[in-house]
Amino acid sequence: MKSNRQYSSLGISESNGILRCVLAPGHRLNLIDAAMHEELEEFFADLVHREDVRVVVLTGAGNVFSSGGDLRSVANDEYHKGLPGGATTRAGLRMIRNLVSVPQPVIAALNGDCCGLAASIALHCDIIVAHERARIGDPHVSVGAVAGDGGAVVWPLQVSLSRAKEYLMLGELIPAREAERIGLINHVYDDATYDAAVEGLATRLASGAMYAIRWTKAAINKVLIERVNMVLDTSLALEGLSFTTQDYKEGMSAFLEKRQPMFKGR
């Protein structure tokens, strides 16, 4: 079954069983606004029905994977007002649950920085390769928000619990080589080898035994799906609750005014 769905925020191309999805072509820093969030939910759900697709490559336009959620639109967007159990929680649950239910192997190709929500998306993919210029991190706390859109689910599975706490509570970006060293991502390549490495990995997966690969993924992902079901609704609800604090309002104001926030713990 082939999908005829048209996307305005995603660049889709296909060849030889490989489907490539480019985040936000033409968008500033490939930011994920509400419209792209909805399209990603639909895109991941559609892949369940795509028997002709053997492997998916998810990447960003230009030299950035994605800087995460579009905070400028978040500031005035009802979609992200964040009442627990509201639209933010439901959309976040759909996004991650649809992604971990994709039957095909999904390669996250980090062509540049990958932050916040984008990092959660990448880390829920199956294999993560990065250009050496890339950095990855979840800086939710830097604007006074809980790292609730998937970080609390997946970081402890990729690195130790104590490392996950450190990275998520500090919100710092990790250079690609360091992320590879600690096991957060799989491989890092330089400018001369990155494109060929991504293509080679996708081709190897696409030419492999499709059902053996899919069912191996399905078995392993039982652990990930269990963690999603255990953690994600709580972490998203707490993220929504953090949106009601004075610290979040200060963090957003500081971000928009390009200054350091002055958090007061309330």
Evaluate whether 105 touches 56 at the Cβ level (below 8 Å): yes
The predicted structure's pLDDT at residue 25 = 65
CA distances from 65 to 43, 50, 137, 190 (A): 17, 24, 12, 16
The predicted structure's pLDDT at residue 76 = 53
Alpha helices in 68-145 (DSSP H): 71-74, 87-100, 117-123
The predicted structure's pLDDT at residue 83 = 46
Does residue 108 sit in helix, strand or coil?
strand
The predicted structure's pLDDT at residue 4 = 62
Q: Which residues of 37-55 are buried (b: 16+ CB within 10 A; e: fewer)?
A: bebbbebbbbbeebeebbb
Alpha helices in 146-245 (DSSP H): 151-158, 161-170, 176-181, 194-206, 210-242
Residues in the chain with pLDDT values less than 70:
1-4, 25-27, 72-88
CA distances from 51 to 14, 98, 103, 203 (A): 13, 16, 9, 16
